[in-house]
Structure 1
Amino acid sequence: MRIACYNVEWFDRLFDEAGDLQRDNRWSGRRDVKRSEQAKALGYVFNKIDADAIMVIEAPDDHNGRSGTNALENFAKVYNLRATKALIGFTNTTQQEIALLYDPSKLNAQHDPVGVIGDVVPPFDGTYEIDLDIDNRADSVTFSKPPLELAIETANGTKLRMIGAHLKSKAPHGAHNAAEVMRFSIANRRKQLAQAVWLRGRVETHLSAGEHLMLLGDLNDGPGLDEYENLFGRSSVEIILGETGCPCLYDPHAARALARKIGGAPTTARFFLKNDNRFLQALLDYIMVSENLRDKAKAWRIWHPFDDPECWRDETLRNALLTASDHFPVTLDIDL
């Protein structure tokens, strides 16, 4: 079975109010990319990765009369995908949902959120109380994009828990000077770390119960990604993976990045920095598995247009990956 994670930049902009795909010459949400170009590229990429289930980050909007599930299922019909069924959990107001697009002949998925108000680890559509700035007062933290919690059963009868996540960006949006950049960056990292602690709490619940668990998505962080990480001692990725000696999750790309002080690390995203007139690459997207799934996991792959040899040699695929999104798909082939 192939599981994928794919952050599609402004997927919502490709659909009208009825959820129909708009393949015209109007601009998409991608820089210098028309809607027809992004849609065609995405159709090609989705068919190439040919996954049984794709955790779509920045999935189409699912509120105020719009249906993200209809939009994704319409997209699947247009491009004749095997994954024809879409599922969204708690919706949000960012126009960027978290959704699972999957092949119903290969697995069954149910939105199955855990926890109730008042729990130490509350539901993801609630509020988490944590002291962010060490002033002996609890701060209230929420998810702008609540993680998607799923109960999965494959056609072979394997049961597992799956969590799709999109953590808060650390980018200092709205900053006008160096002082604001620092202040906003630190505040955003604090909130992101709090979300990671909250998410880790749910992970520990599942691991303690001995359940099969897969956590995948855009964590907007990675080891050594920015200078503010040193202020807090560790990245959100390290928090979610777990400490040595505790039940841990595993992702080989994260493990490789954590092990390297100098030298290249895997990357899953590529952003254009207008002020510097260059591209920045980063490791942001992960598929983490519990220890009891590691022996079933066969191969992780980042479909990077330059770093993956097959993607590089296939000019059509390479160009499609660059046109489709500022993130690249991550896949895991696993026996389920």
Structure 2
Amino acid sequence: MPAAAPLPARRPGLRIATWNVEWFDRLFDDSGRGYEDHQPSARYGISRGAQLGALGLVFTALDADGIMIIEGPDTTSKRSTVRALEWFAQKYGLRARRVVHGFSSETEQEIAFLYDPDRMQAHHDPIGEPTGKRGPAGETTEAPRFDGTFRYDLDTDHTPDTIRFAKPPLELVLTLPTGRSLRLIGVHAKSKNPHGATNEASRIRISIENRRKQLAQCIWIRERVTEHLTRGEDIIVLGDFNDGPGLDEFEKLFGRSGVEIVLGQDRDPAQRLFDPNADMALCSRFGFCPTTARFYLAPQKRWFEALLDFVMVSPGLMVPEPEWRIWHPFQDPRIMALPELREALLQASDHFPVTVDLAL
């Protein structure tokens, strides 16, 4: 049997990643130290120590300069996202060892950015005016801050609905040693799953309501993207959108997915973002589509895969052309040839990382 091929050398430049790590919070105590034991993790069939080890192996293999972590460890009066992730980085000797955390989530799932301070500086830089629970007090041309309230007419009844993020997007400014800067927006958009449905009628009602809210969140993000592009700023929008082109039957009701809205598919090329995986899904609704998440459906006794995670870049970052990669163990032969990494990806999370290499 031939030896497993090593992962190809990464191209020079900047590697940015996003990864939704399932139940990351449950792997740490209140002091931010990991549970390196044999007790069950929140992921089915794996111990806390084994999941931590798998995560350490994958983060090391990613070798990213910056990783947008979705569903990161919680921040409360007792717990700290930054403390837990910096312990994790030190434990596994990661280059990306500093952490930026923005507005706290209403859930136990935080958005945080883990980065290499030798390759960049990163700071939280939220844009927009703070709002109350009812939204902006007067007329404004700028989208409100992501920890506030966005007013948008979801159901065309001429009465704006109020939209909030349970997990406010993380807005960052990255500054490179050359002095070049770019903006990042880390996203965990609302799930469309009909949690709490008791019958088919409530399933449909909750699904439609959740899709409306998810689309409104994406419109809110798109307004912020437009502001940055209009100012000529480079921007990357990345994370888990809980959505993708052609993902469910309700997309026909609304005409397009939230991902298409953020990409700006209907806009001038200078105002669009680009992600080749999203483009492939748009062009191949009845054929092959890349996927980034893998879930077990107990009633059907089978696995379901979906494209939920994206790294979208602005036109100014497209020259020379970036290189995207989904670290999917069954779709990437380079990973398939490395059994240890393949198994670690399956143990670590129900999502797979997505990276983009930018030749900056």
Per the TM alignment, residue 28 of structure 1 is displaced from its structure 2 partner at its CA by 1.3
Q: Aligned ranges for residues 217-296 of structure 1 at < 5 Å?
A: 217-246=239-268, 247-296=271-320
Gaps of 5+ in 2: 1-13, 131-135
Q: Which amino acid in 2 is paired with 1:173?
A: H
Match of 1:202 in 2: 224
- 3-state SS in 2 of match to 1:301: strand
Q: Aligned ranges for residues 86-101 of structure 1 at < 5 Å?
A: 86-101=99-114
Distance 2:164 2:287 in 1: 36
Distance 1:261 1:167 in 2: 22
Q: Which amino acid in 2 is paired with 1:10?
A: W
1:12 aligned residue (25, 43, 66): 25
Distance 2:248 2:65 in 1: 34
2:97 aligned residue (78, 81, 84): 84
Per the TM alignment, residue 93 of structure 1 is displaced from its structure 2 partner at its CA by 2.5
Establish whether residue 26 from structure 1 lines up as the match of residue 50 from structure 2: no
Could you report, residue by residue, the CA deviation over 1:47-68 in whole angstroms, capped at 9, with x for unpaired residues? 0011010000001001222110
Establish whether residue 150 from structure 1 lines up as the match of residue 172 from structure 2: yes
Establish whether residue 308 from structure 1 lines up as the match of residue 308 from structure 2: no
Distance 2:109 2:33 in 1: 17
Spell out structure 1 runs of 4+ moving beyond 3 A.
117-120
Q: Which amino acid in 1 is paired with 2:114?
A: L
Per the TM alignment, residue 296 of structure 1 is displaced from its structure 2 partner at its CA by 3.7
Distance 2:149 2:321 in 1: 34
- 3-state SS in 1 of match to 2:322: strand
Q: Which amino acid in 1 is paired with 2:37?
A: D
Match of 1:135 in 2: 157
Per the TM alignment, residue 285 of structure 1 is displaced from its structure 2 partner at its CA by 0.4
Tell me the C-alpha RMSD between the 2 structures. 1.0
Q: Which amino acid in 2 is paired with 1:181?
A: R
Distance 1:157 1:257 in 2: 36
> Which sits farther off after the overlay, 33-42 or 294-303?
294-303
Q: Which amino acid in 2 is paired with 1:285?
A: D
Give the conservation status (yes or no) of the 8 Å contact 1:63–1:92. Answer: no
> Which sits farther off after the overlay, 154-163 or 3-12?
154-163
Match of 2:202 in 1: 180
The alpha-carbon distance between structure 1 residues 245 and 236, as it changes in their structure 2 partners (threshold 3 A), is closer
Per the TM alignment, residue 230 of structure 1 is displaced from its structure 2 partner at its CA by 0.4
Match of 1:73 in 2: 86
Match of 1:56 in 2: 69
Distance 2:28 2:178 in 1: 35
Distance 1:245 1:145 in 2: 27
Match of 2:11 in 1: none
- 3-state SS in 1 of match to 2:265: coil
- 3-state SS in 2 of match to 1:249: coil
Distance 1:125 1:295 in 2: 33
- 3-state SS in 2 of match to 1:250: coil
> Which sits farther off after the overlay, 147-156 or 113-122?
113-122
Distance 1:243 1:48 in 2: 33
Give the conservation status (yes or no) of the 8 Å contact 1:58–1:97. Answer: yes
Match of 1:171 in 2: 193
- 3-state SS in 1 of match to 2:34: coil
Q: Which amino acid in 1 is paired with 2:29?
A: D
Distance 2:285 2:256 in 1: 14
Distance 1:50 1:313 in 2: 18
Q: Which amino acid in 1 is paired with 2:331?
A: D
Distance 2:178 2:242 in 1: 33
Distance 2:206 2:38 in 1: 37
Give the conservation status (yes or no) of the 8 Å contact 1:107–1:155. Answer: yes
Distance 1:325 1:200 in 2: 28
The alpha-carbon distance between structure 1 residues 297 and 70, as it changes in their structure 2 partners (threshold 3 A), is farther
> Which sits farther off after the overlay, 104-113 or 253-262?
253-262
Q: Which amino acid in 1 is paired with 2:208?
A: I
Give the conservation status (yes or no) of the 8 Å contact 1:98–1:145. Answer: yes
| Matched residue count | 336
Distance 1:135 1:52 in 2: 46
- 3-state SS in 2 of match to 1:65: coil
Give the conservation status (yes or no) of the 8 Å contact 1:297–1:332. Answer: no
Give the conservation status (yes or no) of the 8 Å contact 1:297–1:333. Answer: no
Per the TM alignment, residue 297 of structure 1 is displaced from its structure 2 partner at its CA by 4.1
Per the TM alignment, residue 276 of structure 1 is displaced from its structure 2 partner at its CA by 1.0
Match of 1:122 in 2: 144
Gaps of 5+ in 1: none
Distance 1:300 1:158 in 2: 21
TM-score (norm 2): 0.92
Per the TM alignment, residue 31 of structure 1 is displaced from its structure 2 partner at its CA by 1.6
Match of 1:35 in 2: 48
TM-score (norm 1): 0.98
